[in-house]
A = this chain, B = another copy of it.
């Protein structure tokens, strides 16, 4: 590990101490350790950590950092799984967790204005208390921040019906390297004036600017939900059932899937009756519908009619507390996965919806060939699969080979290397499997406009 503050000159350190007095800046290794990693397995000690309380401090920081050519790595809760928050090139980590005010919830405009450090789940509770709804629900949402969600264009289960984070961002305030502030979009729900800088910034993984304020679009809160779980003996039957739901004209709020290996793990973690399906289950379909309470029973019946012809070995319709018990199973797939191995290499490849069966069949075979266990579960409705290569110490090479083969299969089937997590640091080496040379050149040229000296989250994303 490098010496404390290795990359800063004494003068630079003094400048940061002036800009961020007292506990707003950290320079000792022990305190900074946690700021050098995220939910991926890589880490690097930053040169310094600063914790601005307001946009004015961000402006000063980015003016200073550009002049001094010091890398800046923005961060909030760092639930990122691909190293997006790891200061791989050193530099100053900027924690945005102190900028965590919900500035406004306007139930006439259907708009929320928030600082980037607001926790997504807290915003959701606050808007729902007023009959409003912020649909994006990344699995990390109870702990991750809106700023991080915007920087990564976070998805979630409700993306099927409601779209991902980008579809709910109306406008941004962003501090650029050098300290200039830009404002994109606004608080209208429609806006086609100029190039869409808002969506260029959403998902840019902290490489173009540091977000200081976010305007989000809200919707009326659906009054009720209802869910259906259908377990099948084969993956084939399960995916055919999912197609029948669409063919019935339904777009559920969520359409989740759990594969054979994941079912076995869940049965170990949550023995029957917690997991309600029989041992003959090899694939599970889990749907959530939302809407007017008067309608849900009929919609649930329509979904049941759609999935029944494919011979479920177990079928449950649920509302209220029983409904949440079904979703607790889905929420347990991460802890359950470790029943199949003590180490995990995970991925969030996305397939064209019609090619999921072919891909998953191949993923299982890849695991068998490599002698590791490949588990999958995820957002079947939009083809976004969370694939976990479970393995033991000593099997790291086999696991890495399996993960690479899964990515190759995904690309061969017209898929995407990431549906939600992004590229960050971890997938940068493989991003050229998906992005062409001209497209990458354009992205880097765009970055150069925003960040001419390359100080923002260097070595990430594209």
- Asked if A85 is at the interface (CB within 8 A of a chain B CB), the reply is no
CB neighbours (8 Å) of A446 from chain B are 195, 446, 449
Which A426-462 residues have C-beta < 8 A from chain B? Answer: 431, 434-436, 438-440, 442-443, 445-447, 449-450, 461-462
CB distance from A409 to the nearest CB of B (A): 14
- Asked if A388 is at the interface (CB within 8 A of a chain B CB), the reply is no
Give complex CA distance A182, B298 in Å. Answer: 46
A interface size (C-beta, 8 A): 94
- Asked if A219 is at the interface (CB within 8 A of a chain B CB), the reply is yes
Q: Is A439's CB under 8 angstroms from B183's CB?
A: yes
- Asked if A421 is at the interface (CB within 8 A of a chain B CB), the reply is yes
Give complex CA distance A184, B438 in Å. Answer: 10
Which residue of chain B has its CB nearest to the CB of A250? B220
CB neighbours (8 Å) of A422 from chain B are 192-193
Neighbour of A194 across the interface among B189, B248, B440, CB < 8 A: B440
Neighbour of A292 across the interface among B155, B247, B249, B417, CB < 8 A: B249
CB neighbours (8 Å) of A415 from chain B are 186, 188
Which residue of chain B has its CB nearest to the CB of A153? B192
CB neighbours (8 Å) of A181 from chain B are 438
CB neighbours (8 Å) of A379 from chain B are 190
CB neighbours (8 Å) of A292 from chain B are 249-250, 295, 298-299, 302
Q: Is B350's CB under 8 angstroms from A462's CB?
A: no
Q: Is A442's CB under 8 angstroms from B436's CB?
A: no
CB neighbours (8 Å) of A223 from chain B are 248-249
- Asked if A121 is at the interface (CB within 8 A of a chain B CB), the reply is no
CB neighbours (8 Å) of A340 from chain B are none
Give complex CA distance A349, B454 in Å. Answer: 38
CB distance from A221 to the nearest CB of B (A): 6
State the oligomeric state as a number of copies: 2
CB neighbours (8 Å) of A246 from chain B are 110, 220
What 1/0 flags go to A136-159 for Cβ under 8 Å of B?
Answer: 000000000000000011010001
CB distance from A241 to the nearest CB of B (A): 14
Q: Is A435's CB under 8 angstroms from B186's CB?
A: no
Q: A247-B220, A249-B221 are in contact. Are A353 and B110 (CB under 8 A)?
A: yes
| A9-17, A63-71, A163-171, A323-331: which lies at the interface | A163-171
What 1/0 flags go to A223-257 for Cβ under 8 Å of B?
Answer: 10000000000000000000100111111000000
- Asked if A383 is at the interface (CB within 8 A of a chain B CB), the reply is yes
Q: Is B188's CB under 8 angstroms from A351's CB?
A: yes
Q: Is A193's CB under 8 angstroms from B418's CB?
A: yes
CB distance from A209 to the nearest CB of B (A): 10
Which residue of chain B has its CB nearest to the CB of A155? B190
A interface vs B, CB < 8 Å? Answer: 106-111, 131, 152-153, 155, 159, 163-164, 166-167, 180-184, 186-197, 199-200, 202-204, 208, 219-223, 243, 246-251, 291-292, 294-295, 298-299, 301-302, 350-355, 379, 382-384, 414-423, 431, 434-436, 438-440, 442-443, 445-447, 449-450, 461-462
